[in-house]
Every structure is written in structure tokens, then in C-alpha cells.
Amino acid sequence: MHPPCEVMVKEFLPAMRGLVAHELASRSLSQGKIARMIGVTQAAVSQYLDHTKENYSSKTKLLGLSGEEAERYAKLLCEDLSVSPIEGIQTLYTIWRNLLAQGVFCPSHQAMSPIPKECDVCMRLFGPVKIDDNKGTVLRQMENARKLLETSPFFSHIMPEVSVNLVMCPQDAKNESEVAGFPGRITKVHGRARAMLPPEFGASRHMAHMLLIARSRNKEIGAGIDVKYDQKIAMALEDMKLKTIRTTDKHRAKRGAADVVVDAFSTAVERAEGPFTAVVDEGGPGLEPITYVFGSDALEVCETVLELASRYGKS
């Protein structure tokens, strides 16, 4: 008897590594850099790249994934690996767990082992877990907010290159594990926003950190999202009369902080006078300009950024 995790290790993981290696290589990263990001040797990366991307897509297809799905998952992993290996591991685990919960691997597992067709162990073990009412309310609102973003014809116009994450937490949240976000973030697919995975707690370290910092000055804040920043966004923020603060240290990348973005954000929030809705980070060397928008809950935040997006598209 072979547990389904062996399918993941022996078939799915190498195929996804191959797809991720090809995606990172298409972004002009060296084989050495790719090796460090995905946790293998440079020789292994060379072997992955010796085979075509279609070769790996065909392997994931045998496991029950379409080529398009596998490629989207690979891109999600690349985005998170670009942030940190920990983000990549978390997203990979979330992808695996969701595929097991949906029964995607069941046919291939049954083909490899004499498993009865009525087996539903994975779907029961990895399916939805009962959570308390407060967290359940957060996840339901996150799903409703996601639908608003995904159906908007304008929201993709203000999505940054680093993609988007929407986060929300219960009123008693104290750390990042108590903040819900979308694993792999919200990306752009065929010109529309798309979350490939459902929201879960502990899924976004960066935006969760930003939300908790913002809440440290205003406990009414319960949700946040990141969008792009440019002069058209600046005009829209002003037209909407949203209280906006800025991170002003343009040389912060030379300061040696563990995370210069979080450091500058925290300093701006600490210096803020009164409530605020948006925090503008004008970026720096290798850092994309970002607008962080906050509100009482995920729906309020989405309504704000959708209005921003509408004004942006018409300007």
C-alpha cells in the first residue's frame, strides 16, 4: 500500500520543479540562482532545462492536472520563491493539499496501487477543517471580496508587477498566522484578476505584516490590499479624498534593514497623525512603487480599490 504523498514526491514534485525551472529561466535568471531558489544543485537545474516544458506538463497531466493549471501553479511558485524560499514552500504545500482535498490524484494513485475506487481518505483528511465563527466569517468575506476583484474589468489595470494579496483578520489577531490571505497571491490571467487557491490563515507573510503594523495605530483597520502606484493613482487618491501617508526615505535600501520595505512602512505609520486609508511607497532601487489600501474589512477595501481602478481606467 502506497500513501498518496508518494505520488507527490515521485511524480508531481519533479514535474513542478521542471516547470518552475523553465519559468525562472525565461526570466533570465542564471542556473545557479535557480538552483538556490528551488533547493537543488546547478547540475539538476541543467537537467531540468535539457527537457522541454511540455515534457513536464505531460507528466502533470497524467496526474490529473491540465497543462494550463500546472503552468499557473508554476508561476505562483515562482512569484513566491522570488520573495523567499519559505513563501515558496508554503505555496507548494497549499497547492498539494488542495489537490489532495479535491481528489485530483485519486485516479493516478489507484492506477499505481490496488486502492478501492470508493476510497476518499485524502478528501476527508485534507478537506475543509472546522474553524471558529470569527475565522469562518473572515474566510467567507475574503471569498466574496475575491469575486468582486475577479469580475471587475478595471482592477487588473492597477495590479502591480509583484501581484496582489488581499488580507483580513479577526479583531483579536495578534500575529501573522491569524491573518487570512491568498496563497500564491492574486495574479493576472487573461486580463483579469485571478486567485488560484482559496484564502487561508497564515498565507501571506508580507501583507499580513503590513496589516498588523497598520492595526497597531488604528484598531478599526481589519483588512488591506496592495496595488500599483503612479501619478494616475496619486490623482485618483486625491480625487477620492482618501487620507494618504507616504514612506519618505528614498535611500532606505542602503540602510541595511532586514526588510527595507517593511522598515520604511513601519516608520511612516508610526509618524502618521490620525487615521489613514492608504500608504504610498514610491519604491527605490529594484523596488516597485506600491499603494497599500486599508479598511475595516475585505469588502470595504475592495470597494475602495475598485473605485480607484475605475477612475484609473477612465483617466
User: CA of 184: how far to CAs of 33, 59, 126, 311, in Å?
Assistant: 20, 22, 19, 28
* pTM listed for this prediction: 0.72
Residue 131's pLDDT is 60
DSSP 8-state symbol, 178? G
Residues 26, 173: Cα–Cα separation, whole Å? 40
DSSP 8-state symbol, 9? I
Of the candidate ranges 88-92, 175-179, 225-229, the one whose mean pLDDT is the lowest: 88-92
> Which H/E stretch holds residue 90?
helix 85-101
Residue 76's pLDDT is 83
Confidence of residue 17 (pLDDT cuts 50, 70, 90): very high
Q: Are 197 and 95 in contact (CB under 8 A)?
A: yes
Residues 60, 259: Cα–Cα separation, whole Å? 36
Top CATH class of 133-314 equals alpha beta
Residues 119, 3: Cα–Cα separation, whole Å? 12
Residue 222's pLDDT is 97
As a whole-number percent, the residues of the chain with pLDDT over 70 amount to 92
CB-based burial label for 289 (10 Å; 0-12, 13-18, 19+) = middle
Q: pLDDT tens across 120-157, in order? A: 778 777 766 556 678 889 999 999 999 999 999 999 99
Residue 154's pLDDT is 93
Residue 142's pLDDT is 95
Stretch 197-213: mean pLDDT, rounded? 91
Higher-pLDDT residue of 110 and 212 is: 212
Which amino acid is residue 126, in one-letter code? F
Q: pLDDT tens across 91-103, in order? A: 888 888 888 878 8
Residues 206, 28: Cα–Cα separation, whole Å? 25
Q: pLDDT tens across 66-90, in order? A: 888 888 888 888 888 887 788 788 8
Q: pLDDT tens across 231-271, in order? A: 999 999 999 999 999 997 655 545 555 578 888 899 999 99
Higher-pLDDT residue of 133 and 220 is: 220
Could you tell me the residue ranges of all domains in the chain?
5-126, 133-314
Q: Which three cell numbers stand for residue 296?
A: 475595516
Residues 305, 285: Cα–Cα separation, whole Å? 26
Residue 128's pLDDT is 65
> Is residue 181 pLDDT above 80, yes or no?
yes
Confidence of residue 115 (pLDDT cuts 50, 70, 90): confident
How remote is the C-alpha of 54 from its chain's centroid? 25
Stretch 104-129: mean pLDDT, rounded? 77
Of the candidate ranges 68-72, 201-205, 284-288, 310-314, the one whose mean pLDDT is the lowest: 284-288
As a whole-number percent, the residues of the chain with pLDDT over 90 amount to 52
Highest mean predicted confidence (pLDDT) among 25-39, 203-217, 243-257, 290-304? 290-304
> Is residue 228 pLDDT above 90, yes or no?
yes
Confidence of residue 30 (pLDDT cuts 50, 70, 90): very high
